A = this chain, B = another copy of it.
Amino acid sequence: MTASIKDVAKKAGVSAGTVSNVFSGNRVVRADLVERVREAARELGYQPDRAASQLRAGKARIVAALVPDLNNPFFTSLIASIESSLRADGMDIIVASSNDDPAEERTRLAALLAWRPAALIAIPCADEFASRDLVDKAGIPYVVVDRVPHLFEGDAVTVDNPEAGRMAADHLIGLGHRNIVVVASTMKLRNIRERCEGIEQVFTDHGLGRPTLIEVGLDFETASERLADFMEGERQATAFLALTNFATLGVLASLHQRGRRVPEDVSVLGFDDYSWMRAVNPPLTAIRQPVEEMGRMAWLRLRERIAGEDVPFSRMRLNCKLMVRTSTAPAVGSPQTDRPSSAGRSAPAKTG
């Protein structure tokens, strides 16, 4: 059905090799022949078959991406960024979702590798990245993004999670909040743990005890559910610090459900920064992750590796940014102070 290189060769009256050279630019071809080949190709609607090309040349022009969830805008934004970086280098992207399940991750990864991609970008579903052995065996360069295994030997791109946690905690404590609830997706993930560490550090620096911490899972539904349960008995918190996208949503939903107003009754600080956070009322104070840049960095590193550069492994740690909006306000009854201890513990939670 589709024209092959031979059809073009015949039509242009040259050999297949010449046609190949015209398109790949691997060797120079006389101008008049180039013209004839181009013309013939145009007439036939010919375009080199990438699968065949990759097979023979051993150079893949496809990159694989493995993410935990294609419904999470954080991951898809990352893919968007990577896709637009890739394209400049004539690459295409093949994607798969592990659905946050290690077993699926393994099979999906195997399927991706079966295409012999030039490289892989992985966001593991658990941060041991148990399926890593498959990639190692395949011998292709890869970079782990966002969720990096402990003692990982390889390229990685993350944000500075401890610092992000500190920024968030600083902001809330600076506003006088002492009863802060930290809403994590799951402590099984290292990035989440690191954010918590940053937060706790600030608490310690201020002479405060550890903040209340709850785990609410990886999607909106379960997050809302668990938060609703939690809030049942909770009356003291003056601020919620949500460590992920869906955790933020869950907090908002259950606060609203219980009729507690933001920021009058309780402050909310979220993670990730999407359009809707700016649009809603009140606009959300949030820690912005540099998604766009993460994607670019990941590809930059992979490109070097593909080119065969033997640079040492690197862990890029990008900085988050605190976007202060109006969902966070001074704690009720607390003057805006940095004095340690005191306050908080006994601060009456205004109920809605």
Choose from B54, B71, B113, B139 the contact partner of A77 (Cβ within 8 Å).
B71
Complex interface: chain B residues within 8 A of A108 (CB): 87
Choose from B71, B73, B77, B94 the contact partner of A93 (Cβ within 8 Å).
B94
Please state if A76 and B83 are interface contacts (CB–CB under 8 Å): no
In the complex, A50 has a CB within 8 A of chain B: yes
With both beta carbons as reference points, the residue of chain B lying nearest to A107 in the complex is identified as: B87
In the complex, A116 has a CB within 8 A of chain B: yes
Which chain A residues numbered 94 to 111 have a C-beta less than 8 Å away from chain B?
94-97, 99, 108, 110-111
Which chain A residues numbered 1 to 48 have a C-beta less than 8 Å away from chain B?
1-2, 45, 47-48
In the complex, A256 has a CB within 8 A of chain B: yes
Q: Is the interface of A mostly helix, strand, loop or mixed?
A: helix
With both beta carbons as reference points, the residue of chain B lying nearest to A45 in the complex is identified as: B137
Please state if A92 and B76 are interface contacts (CB–CB under 8 Å): no
Complex interface: chain B residues within 8 A of A83 (CB): 70, 95-97
With both beta carbons as reference points, the residue of chain B lying nearest to A97 in the complex is identified as: B83
In the complex, A279 has a CB within 8 A of chain B: yes
Please state if A70 and B80 are interface contacts (CB–CB under 8 Å): yes
Interface magnitude class on chain A: 35 or more
The interface stretch among A181-189, A229-237, A244-252, A312-320 is: A244-252
Please state if B283 and A256 are interface contacts (CB–CB under 8 Å): yes
Please state if A112 and B84 are interface contacts (CB–CB under 8 Å): no
In the complex, A342 has a CB within 8 A of chain B: no
Given the known inter-chain contacts A73-B76, A93-B94, A93-B95, please indicate yes or no for A51 contacting B48, CB distance below 8 A.
no
* Apart from A47-B114, A252-B279: 11 A-B pairs, beta carbons within 8 A: A49-B114, A70-B80, A70-B83, A84-B97, A87-B108, A90-B111, A92-B94, A92-B96, A224-B279, A249-B276, A256-B279
Q: Which residues of A contact B (CB under 8 A)?
A: 1-2, 45, 47-52, 54-55, 62, 69-71, 73, 76-77, 79-80, 83-84, 87, 90, 92-97, 99, 108, 110-116, 134, 137-139, 220, 224, 246, 249-250, 252-253, 256, 261-262, 274-276, 278-281, 283
